[in-house]
Copies of this chain bind each other. A is one copy, B any other.
């Protein structure tokens, strides 16, 4: 295999190894790799994603699929669904790619399209009451919030009284102007770097990329201020954005996400918190919110 092959596993995600480290911290859970946990998970630990909450964005290089977080941002979700039904983004463009930050897409003002049933501005949906939200908590401290964890498949944070979605890698948000109510979801961005958690509670985080993230994260960086492309030629044109519910069944992808309130997901967290693969000399014993994988699969 060569040096490259021999070293392949070393800084891998350890999907293939499951040896117990002799100095791994005690845990009641059996030692299983991430792959084993997923293979052995019962069907009831998975959630079929509602096709009405899926955006299929077709780029020249392939397809990106985004899940909208209807529970946390219902107004934005409804508006983005309306814009998709109006084919608002067909012919829009990737306008910005800023290193270690975000890739953003939308339309220029002079190129506006009818928004159909969509609204131009929405009330802010930056957080919501903590009460009544079921959060699978992480126990390690977080730099930004008193409590972090997962709610219905999304990374979230809270201060005890309010909760909000966290700007982890792959999360999608709705751009806004200088006032709180100026966002509509017409202009969207995705996080492509170390989690910019300072955006939490400052802007509506509306969903996350389930498939095709690599098409966005490898966009050539823009050379203008804030990573905007300086010429139209540098932009990537978006062919179309459709809701899964509007596509013919043959074009839908039946995605499932691991339920974040399931025992299998608790095992996933544990397997990434304590690294029992033999390669790890220090089994770690800690994990950050944005380092927990959120498994997605295609329903067979």
Using a CB–CB cutoff of 8 Å, the interface residues on chain A facing chain B are: 1-13, 15-16, 95-96, 98-102, 104, 106-112, 126, 140-145, 168-170, 173, 175-178, 180, 186-187, 189, 193-203, 213-214, 217-221, 225-226, 228, 272, 275, 278-282, 284, 286-291
Contact = CB atoms under 8 A, between A and B. Distances in A.
Nearest to A226: B12
Contacts of A2: 107-111
B108 A189 contact: no
A118 to B, nearest CB: 13
A10 B197 contact: no
B109 A6 contact: yes
Nearest to A282: B201
Contact of A194 (B140, B195, B226): B195
Contact of A193 (B15, B173, B193, B287): B193
Copies in the complex: 2
A199 B11 contact: yes
Contact of A288 (B102, B197, B226): B197
A210 to B, nearest CB: 13
Contact of A3 (B107, B196, B214): B107
Contact of A4 (B13, B107, B288): B107
A7 B226 contact: no
Given A7-B176, A198-B286, A201-B282, 9 more contacts: A4-B106, A10-B175, A100-B170, A195-B291, A197-B291, A198-B284, A198-B291, A202-B279, A202-B282
Given A2-B108, A3-B112, A291-B194, A102 B144 contact: no
A88 to B, nearest CB: 12
A110 B4 CA distance: 10
**Sorted from nearest, which 8 A-B pairs have the closest CB atoms?**
A2-B108, A2-B109, A141-B141, A143-B288, A12-B226, A214-B221, A3-B109, A169-B194
15 contacts: A3-B108, A10-B178, A13-B101, A99-B213, A140-B144, A141-B141, A144-B288, A168-B194, A169-B193, A194-B290, A197-B291, A198-B284, A202-B279, A217-B217, A218-B219
